[in-house]
Amino acid sequence: MDKRPALTKLAEDENDFRMAIREFAEAEIKPLVTEMDEQAQMKPELVKNLFEMGLMGIETPEEFGGAGANFTTACLAVEELGRIDGSVSVLVDVQNTLVTNAFLKWATEDQKKKYLPQLASEKVGAYALSESSSGSDAFALKLKAEDKGDKFVLNGHKLWITNAKEASVFLVFANVDPEKGYKGITGFIVEKDMPGFKVGKKEDKLGIRASSTCELTFEDCEVPKENVIGEVGKGYKIAIETLNEGRIGIGAQMVGIAQGAYEAALSYTQTREQFGKALSANQGVQFQLAEMRTELEAARLLVYNAARLKDSGENFVLEAAIAKLYSSRAAEKISSLTIDLFGGNGFTREYPAEKFWRDAKIGQIYEGTSNMQLQTIAKLELSK
């Protein structure tokens, strides 16, 4: 059953929307979390359910089959999913805050009509920027796109591409004129079945294990010129602006992971007894819980502030960097303290604490490392 019309209505009320996503996550995702983590595999039926729930096209206008909600609503969904599983959370995050956002802002009308309905109803999207030589230096791209008249021919590799195994539509950044440096970077819409394109090995990761992270290979991959997104040579602008928005989404994912860890710690300390009383009866434990709750709330408010600035059309780059930096640190700290409060149980896979910590670690690495966020914050502050 397609639940997207109901989601569109729920998006009008923030609390109703949040509770609908929470109920979905508890019922449909939670029973699968351990198995997906151990097998490092996203359940195909779960991906189908995400589409049916309308979570893969939250900002997509209703005319293209989406919920027609705003960016903040998408972040709320990412947060609630992260509370249960970071892998599902990032799948939905990349689909909405990176891929769909790029289409909404930069695609032609024909591209929107063709791809947005697919991305809202059945096709997973991936965002392909990173390469072996371009991590934090995102524009040191070596993937080359050669102009062949009515098409471009792509040759090279991409690494660490989230959603790659499940995706059918890829936003790929390549350089049409390496001598121009970043001014040669161009965005392309690549479909999975295009000749010369191949999804390679899946990385075996510490955390968010069910989320696929793969290498992409391009060997004389022919991409029609009508699949250029934005203008030729303007791909760097698309990448920068989309990543600025995506950082808020990762902040929301980290808040969700931190919330899940905190709730686990709160529940465990209230039921686990030592020396004849619950752990939570000890003032030292109470203080740790209070610190965790305070860090969590601060992270959440920073993310919400950045998201709402984005929705209101105001400059949000500084706030996005701050939110991403702080929330990723908070998630790792809170999930680490959760392991401490679980004691020996926290170090075993029988309990949820260790997985929250494993999933949280990536927050300080992808979509801009913590050092890159610090650099952005300092640069913007010093330029005032």
DSSP state letters, 5-65: HHHHHHTTSHHHHHHHHHHHIIIIIGGGHHHHHHHT---HHHHHHHHHHTTT-SSS-GGGT
- The answer to whether 335 and 360 have CB atoms below 8 angstroms apart is yes
Domains of the chain, first to last:
4-123 (1.10.540.10), 127-233 (2.40.110.10), 237-382 (1.20.140.10)
Q: Answer yes or no: is pLDDT of 15 > 90.
A: no
- The answer to whether 99 and 50 have CB atoms below 8 angstroms apart is no
Show Cβ contacts of residue 49 under 8 Å, excluding neighbours closer than 6 positions. Answer: 24, 28
367 is catalytic: yes
How many CB atoms sit inside 10 A of residue 348's CB? 11
Q: Which two tokens stand for residue 108?
A: 């032609």
pLDDT in tens, 48-93: 999 999 999 999 999 999 999 999 999 999 999 999 999 999 999 9
Q: If you average pLDDT over residues 102-130, what whole number do you get?
A: 98
- Mutual orientation of helices 317-342 and 353-361 as an angle, nearest 10°? 150
Pick from 227, 241, 278, 269: nearest CA to 111: 227
What is the structure's pLDDT at 134? 80
Span between the terminal Cα atoms of the chain, in Å: 52
- The answer to whether 58 and 69 have CB atoms below 8 angstroms apart is yes
Residue 341 and residue 351: Cα distance in Å, rounded?
A: 12
What is the structure's pLDDT at 11? 65
DSSP state letters, 167-181: EEEEEEEEES-GGGG
Candidates 26, 146, 367, 381; catalytic one:
367
Residue with tokens 């997207």: 4
What is the structure's pLDDT at 139? 75
* Radius of gyration, alpha carbons of the chain: 21
Confidence of residue 5 (pLDDT cuts 50, 70, 90): low
- The answer to whether 156 and 162 have CB atoms below 8 angstroms apart is no
Q: Answer yes or no: is pLDDT of 176 > 90.
A: yes
How many CB atoms sit inside 10 A of residue 44's CB? 9
Confidence of residue 110 (pLDDT cuts 50, 70, 90): very high
Q: What's the whole-model pTM score?
A: 0.96
pLDDT in tens, 328-361: 999 999 999 999 999 999 999 999 999 999 999 9
Beta-strand runs (E) in 261-310? 273-274, 277-278
Helix (H) or strand (E) holding 82: helix 71-84
Q: Answer yes or no: is pLDDT of 12 > 80.
A: no
What is the structure's pLDDT at 373? 97
Exposure string for 193-211, b = 16+ CB within 10 A, e = fewer: ebeebebeebbebebbbbb
pLDDT in tens, 201-250: 999 999 999 999 999 999 999 999 999 999 999 999 999 999 999 999 99
Pick from 316, 313, 328: nearest CA to 250: 328
What is the structure's pLDDT at 288? 98
pLDDT in tens, 23-58: 999 999 999 999 999 999 999 999 999 999 999 999
